[in-house]
A and B are shown apart, each in its own frame.
Chain A
Amino acid sequence: MATAVESHRPAGWRRLVSFPIVFTALAVLIFFFYQTVLVKLVAPVQTFMGGWFPLNGINQCIIWGMLAVGLNIVVGYAGLLDLGYVAFWAIGGYVAGWIMSPFFAQWNFNLLGSPAPGFDQGIHVNFWLVLPIAAAFCALWGIIIGAPTLRLKSDYLALVTLGFGEIAIEFFRNGDNVFGFNLTNSSRAITPLDAIPLGPLSLIPGVPDRLGPFDNSYKFLVYSLLAAFAIFVSLRIRVGRLGRAWLAIREDELAASMMGVPLMRTKLAAYAVGAALGGIGGVAYASLVNGVNADDFQFANSIILLAMVVLGGMGNVWGVFIGALVLEWINAIGLQQFGDTFNSSFGTQVNFPSYNFLIFGALLILMMLFRREGLLPEARTKRVLQEPDRVTAEALGADMEGTDPDLEDLEGTKV
């Protein structure tokens, strides 16, 4: 194993260096396309792009991608099934709602913040400072939730994370009256959020000094940067000591612990890092929709994120990110647009967006049945997920020969 890691390293390094360049180039290219090229194109192209690829929707896709990359650390790297990831998204969002909005009008505090015009009261902290604060706060909650529960077996853990997720959601929904104190404003939403200040960057001609709710093209750059950060962190941790420990735990917890991997600490780290990225995603989402609404956080979000991780290939950061972009595009824009086109051309009244549950559910089932390693699998994940576990392999008796279709695949696999 050690030699395999060594021999992969040069290629991995080249990828790591080339990825930021390609990613930045792509982001800047898309930005300029929307900023300068699109407005000069003919009207049909503009309506087409505005309908099928609106910048607002693309930003949303990128944020979902970032969240999926965060969940990938918990599910894909460490193999801990987390069904309550939406809790961290919500916590991150509410941190943003609390410290960069006029919501707490009884306290006045401004730390390099840029409140929306006319909303000077309340707590206003600079967007770029809120990101690490939310990340740290979420990581703390990840540890608080993880510490007592990570001892559980994988399927119990899934249910407990789900329970925590539901409790968090219900807390935020009922949080407009916590012992008489309005903490979350429930489904009336905390709004408006502060703008994103650009600081010294605004010295460049043409760049605004702050990004309000409608500066989608510049926000696209900001969210791309955050997504790139999430991807970069994931890739870097993956090759390091911690990442290899996660993969070892995912593949065989017992063997890993015998090799000296501290199980609890390593799993907690996965939880904390995943939660921190979820928090950053939450802040980004809150700034995109310019508010925090308790109704935005649903159990379904956790499952859709899980589908994104599964589709792209558990553990493969790029697969997960691209899978998330595609799925969220389908969920938020594609189905609606396709439905409108379909209904207007065939005169039908089919409500296509309501089919998203069917699509995501069927996707999860079919992926698990036929392509468990995802569409863009890591070579390593593929081997692990296609091979039966040790106990099963030992238990496969002679009496089963010919009865189990999996047995044929077993031959030639070293168990």
Chain B
Amino acid sequence: MTQSVVEKAEFREERLRLSWVGALGMALVALVLLWVVVQAVTKPSQFASAFVTGINNGALYALIALGYTLVYGIIELINFSHGDLFMLSTILAAFVIVTVFNATSPSWSAVFVALIALVICMSGAGGLNVAAERLAYRRLRRAPKLAPLITAVGLSFVYQFFGVLTNGSAQRPWDTILGNSGFTIGNVKINWMTLVVIAVTVPLLLAMSWLVTNTRQGKAMRATAQDQDAARLMGIDVDRTIAFTFGLGGALAGAAGLLYMQSMQVTRWDAGFRLGLFAFTAAVLGGIGNLTGAVVGGFLIGLVGSLNDSLGLGQQWGQTVIFAILIVLMVFKPEGILGRPSVEKV
């Protein structure tokens, strides 16, 4: 809020700064693109398999990033615990699919089990998110911003505790329905699971976007995001709308959890921290609060991550690369690729 005022006061210096900052940012992007092109030309097969992995991860990031961006769009809260909600749903998915139904090989009944598990994970994660909103965030809606943020951090710790409790402190491998089976095009192996991930993600994203743009509930969400008080005056039940948004974001994280468990074939209690932050970066990259942006950002981050893992600095620097993107983005273009620069009300 103060930013805009202060910047106006130092208008001339600011414009000067922005011009070279912009140039530097463009130069950075150009360098990265150049590197990608060079890699694609010199090592085509490696590049292609990294690309496939990237799309797979990117779909998961997009699903999680939507949860961040929905919640941020409506109440301007970075729901820090969202990644750990996703982690809990990976564990729930493993429990339902493997422990309860023992579906570890492809068959029609396994498809049925997977669908049941998808419903359970989505409603479980959505319900948990709604409960968190109802019990904690709602009471803090009028508190200073630090309070809900610290609450979210605390909630993430609590979720992680339950993750350790149910999954143990080491990662746990699982037999999955499709396993590693797949087909090859040229030298590039594509897992069936990657296709399933895309086949589940794309309809979910389309349904989400239809829900937000074409339904009454979506209209209420958009109105609440713009101005809660005005929305309330128009007869919108703001509390219900916000709870619904949390539920929607949680459900997407639940779906992502199941897909992660099936495609990575492991569950681990600290997956949520890492993937949650990656997804948050994706949301920021696309422009936080912007639904299309979150999806685009998710796929971009997925690609950058997998290209780095196989062709770049290697997996041990994965976090550094993604967080460097986050920081560079925050400094140069905080509104993201598709977002609009926000002018804050004083």
Contacts and interface: CB of A to CB of B under 8 A. Distances in A.
A130 to B, nearest CB: 27
Contacts of A83: 153
B140 A368 contact: yes
B243 interface: no
A162 B273 CA distance: 11
Given A81-B149, A170-B317, A397 B229 contact: yes
Contacts of A257: 2, 5-6
Interface in B137-157: 139-140, 142-151, 153-157
Interface in B287-346: 316-317, 319-320, 323-324, 326-327, 330-331, 334, 344-346
B305 to A, nearest CB: 14
A307 B165 CA distance: 22
A254 B7 CA distance: 12
A381 B199 CA distance: 52
A406 B233 CA distance: 19
A156 B334 CA distance: 9
B345 A391 contact: yes
B320 A365 contact: no
Interface in B1-19: 1-3, 5-6
Given A263-B6, A357-B164, A365-B158, A303 B153 contact: yes
B154 A254 contact: no
A303 B136 contact: no
Given A154-B145, A360-B157, A399-B233, A369 B139 contact: yes
A310 B150 contact: yes
A167 B324 contact: yes
Contact of B327 (A149, A171, A303): A149
A152 B329 CA distance: 11
B330 A303 contact: no
Given A151-B3, A164-B323, A368 B154 contact: yes
Nearest to B228: A395
Contact of A369 (B136, B146, B316): B136
Interface in A360-415: 360-365, 368-369, 372, 384-385, 388-389, 391-392, 395, 397, 399-400, 404, 406
Interface of A: 79, 81, 83, 148-149, 151-156, 158-160, 162-164, 166-167, 170-171, 173-174, 253-254, 257, 263, 299-300, 303, 306-307, 310, 354-355, 357-358, 360-365, 368-369, 372, 384-385, 388-389, 391-392, 395, 397, 399-400, 404, 406
Given A160-B327, A361-B156, A364-B150, 8 more contacts: A163-B324, A170-B320, A173-B316, A360-B154, A361-B155, A362-B154, A369-B139, A399-B232
